[in-house]
Structure 1
Amino acid sequence: MTPIDIPVKGPVAPVEKVDPTTLSKFQQLCLKSQPLMLYVVSLAQFLDIVNGASMTVAMLPIAKELKFETQQQQWLISSYALSFGGLLLIAGRMGDLFGHRRVFLGGLFWFGLFSLVNGFSKSPVMLCISRALQGIGAAAQIPTALALIAIKYPAGVERTRALSVFGAIGAMGAVTGLLLSGALTSTVGWQWIFFISAIMSVILFILGLFAIPQASGLHGENPRIDFGGSFTATGGIVCVIYYISAGVETGWASVQTLPVLCIGLVLLAIFFVIEKRISYPIMPFHVWKHRAFSTSFALIFIMQAVFQGYLYFTTLTFQEVLGYSIMRTSLSYLVHGLTAMVFYSILGRLLPRLPLKPIIAVGFIFLGVSSLLFAFVTENSTYWVLPFISLICNVLGLGMVMLPAQITALRDASDDDQGVVGAIYNVGLQIGAPFGLAILTVISGKLNGDHKGERVGGPVNMHGYKYALLGDVALAALGFVVTLILLPSVKPTKAENNVPASLEEAGVAASSVMDQDKESVTTDVGVPTAFSKAEYVEEGQLPDKTEYIEEQHGGKTEYHQDGQELNSPQMAEEIIKAGAKVQY
C-alpha cells in the first residue's frame, strides 16, 4: 500500500487526514517520489520510440550478421510496428478497466524482458518474434502513460506543461534512436541497443513502483471485457498496417497483401457493429463526438506521415547522395535532438497562454519548408547550408504540431476514457508512419529506375528522393488546410483550484499535500464545493448518466438532475457517498 491509498469503500470518499507517524518508511518514500512520475512515463515512451527508430540504421548490419534474406529484413521493423500499433487500443482500455499504473508497469517489465531476449537472438526468426513480443510491452505503456499524466495533472497550465515535457522527451526518441544505433553498431555491436533498453527498463520499473500512485480501475471490482471488440480491433489494425508496410515491396494488389487488406476491412466492419451494440465497448464512440479530438487524430496522422517520410529520405540522402557513413549520418541528426531539448522546453511554458490552432498551422508550414529545403540537396551540397537549416525547421514544426495536438486530443476526454483516447491517438501515429512512407516510397521507386524498372544506386537516386520530399511538402500542406478548416479554436482550459482533476486522483490515487501546520497529510478527495459540470452514474441503478450542473442565479446555487432541481449540494454529496462514479 502506498501513502496515497485511502482505505475506504467506494471510488469517492470524504476528505481524510492521515497522520504521518502512521506511515511506514516505504510509504513516505513513495510520497516523496511522486514528482518523478512524469519523467518515468516520459522516459518509458522515449525508450519505445528509440527501439522503433534505431532499426532504420541498424537493420543492414543486423541482417548481415544474422544472415537475413532480403525479403525478411522488413520484419525487423514491421514485427515491432504491428504488435505495437495493433494492441494500443486494447491496452488503453485495459488501463481504464484495471488501473493505468498496473498496466503501465506490466508493460514496462514485459518490454525490458524481451529487449534482453532481442540482444541474445541468434537467428532471424528468434529476433523477429522477440521484436513482436517487445512491441506488446510498448503498446501497454504509451496510452497508459498519457492517461496517468492526464489524470494526475488538472486541465490547464499543469497538464499543458506536463504533456509538453512528455511530448518533448518522446520527440527526441526518434533522432536519439538514429544516433544511438549508429554509435553502438559501429563500436560495441547492435546487441547493445537492446541491452541498454533492458537496463533502462529495469531502472524505470523500480522508480515507477515508488513514483506512480496506486490506482484501481474506474469500472468497479468486476469490469466487463469486450473480447469481441478487442479481437476484431487488434486483427483489423494489424492487417491494415501490414498491408501499408508490405505493399511497397510486394505490390498493392499482390496475393500476399490484398487478401490481408480485405480481411482487415472485414474485421474492422465487424468491430464497428459490435461496438455499436454493446454497453461496455472497448472504443466508446462518444469520444469521436469531440471535434477537437477527432481533428487532432487526423492532424497527428498527417504529421507522422510527413515526419516518417522526411526521416527516411533524409537518411537515404545523407548516405547515398552525400556519401556519409552510418556514424556520420547519425551525428548529422544531433542538431535535431539538441534543438528539440531547448525549443520544446520553451514551448511547454508558452502553450498554456497561447491559442493552439495557429501554432499547429504554423507548425505544418515549418514541416513543409524543411522537406522543401532538403529536396534541393545535391551531391555537392554542404551540411551547413540546406540540411542544417532543414533539420532545424523540421524540429520546430514537429513540436508546434505534436505538442498542441496532444493537448487538444486529451482536453475533452473524461478520466474514464483517458486510456482509450490515448490509445486511439497513438494508433493514428502508428498508422500514419507507414502510410506516409508507402506513398513517398512509391513516388521515389517509380522515378529511381532504368528502362527495365530496376533501381539504380548512388547520387542519381536524388532524382526520386527530390520528388518524394516534394510529396512530403504536399502532405504538410494538407495538414495546414485541415487545421484551418476543421480544428476548432482551442486554448488550454484552466482548471478550478478547488476541483480535483480526476476520479483516480481524487479517490484512490490522490496526490497528498501537507497541511499548513505540517502535522498531517491531507488528500485531495471529497466532493468539490463548486464545479462546472459533473456526471454521476449510480452503479447498478442508473442505466444512463445523470448530469448535475451548477448554475449561479443571483448568488443562489441550483443543482439540476435531468432538469429537476435538487434541494442542495448535500443531496449530490450523499449520492456520491452511496457509491456513484464521478467524472470532472
Structure 2
Amino acid sequence: MAPLMLFVVSMAQFIDIMNGSSMTVALVDISKALGFDSYSTQWIISAYVVTFGGFLLLSGRIGDMYGHRKVFLLGQIWFGLWSLVISFSTTPAMFCITRALQGIGASMSVPTALGLITTTFPAGPKRTRALSVFGGFGAAGAVVGLLLAGAFISSVGWEWIFRFSSIFSFLLFVVGYVAIPVIPAKAVTQKIDVAGAMTATSSMICIIYYISTGSASGWASVQTLPVLIAGLVLLAAFFWIETRLVKNPIMPFRIWRLRNFSSAFVAILFLQGQFQGFTYFTTLIFQNVMGYTSMQTALAFLAHSLFAVVTFTILGKVLPKYRLKPFILTGFGFRCVAALMFAFVQKSTSYWTLPFLGLLVHVIGLGTSVLPAQITALKDAQNEDQGVVGALYSTGMQLGAPLGLVIVTLISENSVDVKMGETPVEEVMKSYRNGLFGVVALGVLGAVITAFMMPNTVPAPPAAASAPTTAPVENSTDVATVATVGAAAAVVDLELDEALAEAAEKMEMV
C-alpha cells in the first residue's frame, strides 16, 4: 500500500498548493464579487497564510506524539469542510474567517504528510524518490492552480475553486483511510506541551500577520507594530518555556543542532522568497505588459507545470547518487537566470522566446534546489521528530514567501510610481524589472549563505534502501533497541564466519 499512500499524501500537497496559487488569479474577481475594499483585499490570501503558518508546529508535534495518520486524516476532513463553506461566502468577513479555518486544516496535512513519507520509506534512494514525487506534485499544484482558476473564473465562477478542493479532500480522506497503515498506539502517551503550544502558535500568528499586512498597512502603524511586539514577546516566552520549564518540549532544540536541517531551513527562506517574487512579477508581466487575460496567463504557465512533472521524475532517480549541496547551489543559479530572462520582456515580446524559455529554466532551478533542500532538511532527524521537522521546514516556507515578496515589491514600488491605467507600459515594465533584479539578489545572497552553512554530505548508501524494513520507530527507546539488535546481529554474523573458517581449515587438514 506504500505507493497508494504516497499518492494520497502527494495529492493532499497538490490540492493545498493549488488552492493557494489559484488566489493569484482569482484575487480581483473575489474582491469584486464580495465587496472587499482596497485595504482588506490582502486578507483573501493573508487570512489563510496566518493560520496555516501559525499552527504548523503544533500540528506537526501532535502528529509525532499521537500518530501522523490520525492528524493527516483529520486535516483532510477539516480542509474539505471549510473549503466547501468558503464557496458559499457572501461577505468579506465570512470569507476571511472560513479561509482562516481552512488554513488550520492545511497545517494538519502538510507536516504529517512528510512524517508519513519519512517513517514509511527508509533513508536512501527510496525516500529520495518518494520525496521527489511529493515535491513534484507540489510544484505542479502551484501552476495548475493558476490554470484551473482561469478556467473556473471564465466559466462557472470562482466558487468552484474551493468546491473542487473540497471534493478532492473528501476523496483523499476515504482513500487515505484505507491506504495509510494503522500503527499501534504507544504504551505510554506523552502529554502535549500546552504552554509551549500556545506561545509558539500565538507568536507565529502575530509575526506572519505583521509580515503579510505590513506593506499595505504600514510597518510602523498602530495596526501592525503592536502585533509584531506581541509576537516577539510571545516568542521569547516560548524559548524560555521550552528550555526551562518542560521536559517534553513541543519543539526539541536538538533538531537545530543538526547542520543539515538548520542550513536547509535558511536555504528554504531564500528559495521560497525567490519563488514568490518570481511568480508574482511574471504574472503581472503577462497581464499588465503583454496584455494577457486571466485564462491566457493560466495557459502560459501550463508549460511550467508539465515540465515540472518531468523534471521532478528525473531528479528522483538522479539525486540519490550524488551530493545534494551542489544541486541546491545550481538551482539558485538557474532561478536567477530565469528572473533575468523575464526582466527583459517587452510588450511586443513573443511568448515562445523569453517567457517560455524562462519558465523552463525556472522549473529546472526549482527542482534542483527545493527538492534537495527538502531531502537535506529531513535527512538526519530521528523518526520521533519527523513531524516537527516537517512543520518547521514548512514554517520556513511560509515565512520566506511573504518576506521575499515584501523585499522585491518594495524595490519595485520605490523605483517607479506606477498608477495602473495612467503609467506607460514601458515604465510599468521598468518597475517589474527592478523587482526581478531583487529576486536575483535574493538568489545570490541565498546561494552564498548556503555555500558556507550547508555540509556537503555524501549520499545515503543504496544498502539502506535494500535492507529489510521494520515498523516505523516511534521514540528514542525504539531507536536504541533497534541499534542494539543490529549490533547483536553483526556480532553473531562475525562469530559464525570465524566458526566456518575454522571448520574449513580442519576439513582441509583432514
Determine which of 24, 36, 47 is the counterpart of 2:4: 36
Kindly report which structure 2 residues correspond to 1:498-517, keeping only aligned pairs within 5 A, or say none: 498=468, 500=470, 502-503=472-473
Is the counterpart of residue 531 in structure 1 residue 486 in structure 2? yes
> Whose helix proportion is higher, 1 or 2?
2
Distance, in Å, in 2 between the alignment partners of 1:335 and 1:326 is 16
Separation in 2, partners of 1:345, 1:107: 27
| Aligned-partner SS, 2:459 | coil
Matched-pair contact (CA < 8 Å) for 2:266–2:450: no
Q: Which residue of the partner structure matches residue 484 of structure 1?
A: 451
Structure 2 unaligned spans of 5+? 497-510
Tell me whether 1:402 sits opposite 2:388 in the alignment: no
2:288 paired with 1:333: no
- Given the superposition, is the C-alpha separation of residues 250 and 127 from structure 1 closer, same or farther in structure 2, using an over 3 Å criterion? same
Q: Which of 437, 454, 475 is matched with 2:442 structurally? A: 475
**Cα gap change, 1:344/1:102 in structure 2, threshold over 3 Å: closer, same or farther?**
same
Deviations 1:51-101 (A, max 9, x none): 111111101111111111111111110001011111000000000111000
TM-score computed with the length of structure 2 as normaliser:
0.92
Q: Distance in 1 between the 2:217 and 2:247 partners?
A: 41
What TM-score do the two structures reach when normalised by structure 1?
0.80
Amino acid at match of 1:478: L
Change in CA separation of 1:472 and 1:455 when aligned onto 2, cut-off 3 Å? farther
Please, which of 188, 195, 199 is the counterpart of residue 167 of structure 2? 199
Mapped partners of 1:552, 1:365: distance in 2:
48
Q: Deviations over 1:201-223 (max 9, x none)?
A: 111110001000112565x4432
Partner of 2:49: 81
8 Å contact 1:498–1:530 — kept in the other structure?
no
Partner of 2:209: 242
Q: What SS does structure 1 have at the residue aligned with 2:190?
A: coil
SS state at 2:39 partner: helix
Distance 2:243 2:386 in 1: 20
Which amino acid in the other structure matches residue 235 of structure 2? L
**Cα contact 2:384–2:474 (8 A) shared by 1:** no
Q: Does 1:222 align with 2:189?
A: yes
**CA 1:446–1:49: 2 relative to 1, 3 Å:** same
The change in CA–CA distance for 1:429 and 1:484 in structure 2 (over 3 A counts) is same
Match of 1:314 among 276, 279, 282: 282
Decide whether the 8 Å contact of 1:95 with 1:217 is kept in 2: no
Q: Distance in 1 between matches of 2:16 and 2:420?
A: 36
Which residue pairs with 1:350 in the alignment? 318
Q: Distance in 2 between matches of 1:78 and 1:39?
A: 29
Query: Against the structure 1 CA distance between its residues 398 and 331, is the aligned structure 2 distance closer, same or farther, given a 3 Å change threshold?
Result: same
* 1:161 matches 2:129: yes
Q: 2:142 aligns with which of 165, 174, 190?
A: 174
> 1:446 is matched with which residue?
414
TM-fit CA distance, 1:113: 0.3
Q: From 367, 373, 385, give the equivalent of 2:335.
A: 367
Report the Cα distance in structure 2 between the residues aligned to 1:255 and 1:217, rounded to whole angstroms.
Answer: 48
- Specify whether residues 485 and 94 from structure 1 end up closer, same or farther in structure 2 by C-alpha distance, changes over 3 A only: same
Q: Residue 504 of structure 2 corresponds to which residue in structure 1?
A: none
The answer as to 2:186 corresponding to 1:231 is: no
User: Could you tell me how far 1:492 is from its partner in structure 2?
Assistant: 3.4
Q: How many percent identity over aligned positions?
A: 52
How far residue 438 of structure 1 moved from its aligned partner, in angstroms, is 0.5
- Taking structure 1 as reference, are residues 205 and 553 closer, same or farther at Cα in structure 2, changes over 3 Å only? closer
Normalized per residue, the structure richer in strand is 1
Secondary structure of the structure 1 residue equivalent to 2:486 = coil
Name 1:267's counterpart in structure 2.
234
- For residues 84-136 of structure 1, the C-alpha deviation after alignment (integer angstroms, 9 at most, x for no partner) is 11100000000011100000000000000001001111111111111000000
Structure 1: distance between partners of 2:388 and 2:74 = 17
**Partner in structure 2 of residue 11 of structure 1:** none
Q: Would you identify which runs of 4 or more consecutive aligned residues in structure 1 move more than 4 Å?
A: 453-458, 526-530, 549-554
Confirm or deny: 8 A CA contact 1:147 1:422 kept in the other structure: yes
Aligned residue number for residue 304 of structure 1: 272
Q: Distance in 2 between matches of 1:464 and 1:551?
A: 65
**CA-CA distance at 1:498 after TM superposition:** 3.5
Q: Report the alpha carbon displacement of residue 555 of structure 1 after superposing the two structures with TM.
A: 3.8
Cα offsets for 1:376-434 (capped at 9, x unmatched) = 11112111111111111111101111111111111111111000000000000001000
Compared CA separation, residues 550 and 472, structure 1 to 2 (3 A): farther
When structure 1 is superposed on structure 2, of 481-490 and 270-279 the one drifting more is 481-490
Q: How does 1:51-62 map to 2 (within 5 A)?
A: 51-62=19-30
Check the 8 A contact 1:356/1:490 in 2, yes or no.
Answer: yes
* Alignment partner of 1:497 is 2:497: no
Tell me if the contact between 1:105 and 1:205 (Cα under 8 Å) persists in the aligned partners: yes
Asked if the contact 1:92/1:143 (under 8 Å) is kept, the reply is: yes
The alpha carbon displacement at 1:455 in A equals 9.6
8 Å Cα contact 2:112/2:390 also seen in 1: yes
Deviation at 1:448, TM superposition (A): 2.6
Contact 1:100 1:217 in 2 (8 A): no
Query: What is the SS of the residue equivalent to 2:231?
Result: helix
Residue deviations 1:499-540, cap 9 Å, x none?
5373259x99xxxxxxxxxxxxxxxxx9578637xxxxxxxx
Q: Is the 8 A contact 1:143 1:426 kept in 2?
A: yes
1:346-382 superposed Cα distances (whole Å, 9 cap, x missing partner): 1101111111111111010001101111111111211
* Distance (Å, rounded) in 2 between the aligned partners of 1:317 and 1:401: 24
After TM superposition, give the deviation of residue 441 of structure 1 in Å. 1.0
Q: CA deviation at 1:444?
A: 1.2
The match for 2:259 is 291
C-alpha distance 323-44 of structure 1, shift in aligned 2 (>3 A) = same
